Amino acid sequence: MTRRPTKYDPNLPKNLTYRKERNSYFWRNPTTGKEIPLGKIARRDAISQAIEANHYIEQNYSPVLLLEKLKGSHEYTMETWLERYDTIFKRRNLAENTYKVRKGQIAIIKEKMGKMILSKVTTRHVADFLEFWVAQDKKTMAATMRSVLSDVFREAIVEGHLEHNPVTPTRSAKPVVKRERLELEQYIAIREAAAAFPAWFGLAMDLALVTGQRREDVALIRFDHVVDGRLRISQGKTGAMLSLPLNLELKAVNLKLGTVIDRCRLASTTNFMISAGFRKNRPDGSLNPDSLTKKFVAARKASGMTFEESPPTFHEIRSLAGRLYEKEKGKEFAMKLLGHKSEKMTNKYLDSRGKEYVML
């Protein structure tokens, strides 16, 4: 048990302590309980800094009184508002993984800003919050957290707790795209290298390309999803429901959906089109999506091709499919195939990221 100080200086401001053994002043943050060393500075300077810090805390982290709670007239803290926001977000009926990610983002905001009064959060507070990632050159994370914060405050405006969104004036960090797009020639080379791997992997590449679906959805496609000459797909991330005709053809690689499925029937011993068979950890014969990623990396290396710092992954097959179908069937078809509700997201997938010739 920590020994209590033998002498207390009543002339110091609250939260300020002088430790004789260290010959230094310390200020305790009342919201976190953590002590911040002020160093060996003059008593006058320590008192001045402590008073300034205490005033800031009182202005921005005021506790909610019990009587105010009973009257329903209290102001929300960020922590209590985030609990309300969590309920609002759940009502959007998004995919489980999407909610799981957002829950983690909410936890980060709560940790950094939870004690602040909602109505007193300023653009400066938001900028300081985002600077944590900008300083580490994590621009994608900074942009993501800015978007989440903006949504949090937008909902507060809708319910009448705020008039302005403090996030709006801040600039969104522009993420630097690091992962390369997969080009058709590269796909063909990797597909040829995949011939040395288990049959299910090469078929997974073909099925992903001809359907344009995410690896998680490709791994879950079953033979009983084929109904009345069509393959039915329910996307796990967005909930989009697609019905693809078996005569769907991607001419650039001479692939027909029906033919790919027939080849899957010959290779799979389970009800899943892409399967490594029945195993202890996969008694139903399903395949972990990570297996597709790992095999793709191995086949990419086996192809002998060289890439920059961030080579394409299995997921890039989806973007390649979108770009190829756009050329053959138009952007609207590609948008429907990818399951996107907005043209903005489709354009993101169709962007070749500068890997194309300028036609003169």
For the segment 249-281, what is each residue's pLDDT rounded down to a tens digit? 999 999 999 999 999 999 999 999 999 999 888
Mean of pLDDT over the chain: 85
CATH 3.30.160.60 positions along the chain are 16-60
The total of other beta-carbon atoms located within 10 Å of residue 12's CB is 16
Percent of the chain with pLDDT over 70: 86
Confidence grade of residue 74 (pLDDT, cut at 50, 70, 90): low
pLDDT at 235 over 50: yes
Can 349 be counted among the known catalytic residues?
A: yes
Can 74 be counted among the known catalytic residues?
A: no
Mean pLDDT of 155-164: 92
Give the residues across from 36 on adjacent strands.
27
- Of 191, 225, 295, 318, the active-site residue reads 318
Percent of the chain with pLDDT over 90: 51
Can 164 be counted among the known catalytic residues?
A: no
Distance CA 351, CA 177 (A): 11
- Of 110, 191, 214, 222, the active-site residue reads 214
Between 64 and 214, the more confident residue is 214
Give the residues across from 26 on adjacent strands.
17, 37
Say which amino acid occupies 27: W
Tokens at 35, concatenated: 């002590």
| Lowest-pLDDT range of 21-35, 52-66, 95-109, 126-140 | 52-66
Tokens at 220, concatenated: 């879950």
CATH 1.10.443.10 positions along the chain are 184-350
CATH code of 74-158, in short, is: 1.10.150.130
Q: What contacts 158, CB < 8 A, 6 or more positions away?
A: none
Mean pLDDT of 164-184: 81
Confidence grade of residue 93 (pLDDT, cut at 50, 70, 90): confident
Q: Residue with structure tokens 């105010």?
A: 68
Q: What is the 3-state secondary structure (H, E, C) of the chain?
A: CCCCCCCCCCCCCCCEEEECCCCEEEEECCCCCCEEEEECCCHHHHHHHHHHHHHHHHHHCCCCCHHHHHHCCCCCEHHHHHHHHHHHHHCCCCCHHHHHHHHHHHHHHHHHHCCCEHHHCCHHHHHHHHHHHHCCCCHHHHHHHHHHHHHHHHHHHHCCCCCCCCCCCCCCCCCCCCECCCCHHHHHHHHHHHHHCCHHHHHHHHHHHHHCCCHHHHCCCEHHHEECCEEEEECCCCCCEEEEECCCEECCCCEEHHHHHHHHHHHCCCCECCCCCCECCECCCCCCHHHHHHHHHHHHHHCCCCCCCECCCCCHHHHHHHHHHHHHHCHHHHHHHHCCCCHHHHHHHHCCCCCCCCCC
CATH superfamily of 16-60: Classic Zinc Finger (3.30.160.60)
pLDDT at 88 over 80: yes
Confidence grade of residue 72 (pLDDT, cut at 50, 70, 90): very low
pLDDT at 68 over 60: no
Distance CA 12, CA 309 (A): 56
Q: What are phi and psi of 198, to 5 degrees?
A: -50, 145
Distance CA 91, CA 109 (A): 20
Distance CA 353, CA 344 (A): 15
The pLDDT, as a whole number, for residue 175 is 63
Can 232 be counted among the known catalytic residues?
A: no
Can 85 be counted among the known catalytic residues?
A: no
Which range is most confident: 97-101, 190-194, 234-238?
Answer: 190-194
Mean pLDDT of 80-105: 88
Q: What contacts 343, CB < 8 A, 6 or more positions away?
A: 331, 335
Can 344 be counted among the known catalytic residues?
A: no
| Lowest-pLDDT range of 4-13, 65-74, 301-310, 314-323 | 65-74
- Of 237, 263, 329, 336, the active-site residue reads 237
Tokens at 216, concatenated: 């998680």
Interhelix angle 184-193/289-302, nearest 10 degrees: 100
CATH superfamily of 184-350: Intergrase catalytic core (1.10.443.10)
Confidence grade of residue 171 (pLDDT, cut at 50, 70, 90): confident
CATH 1.10.150.130 positions along the chain are 74-158
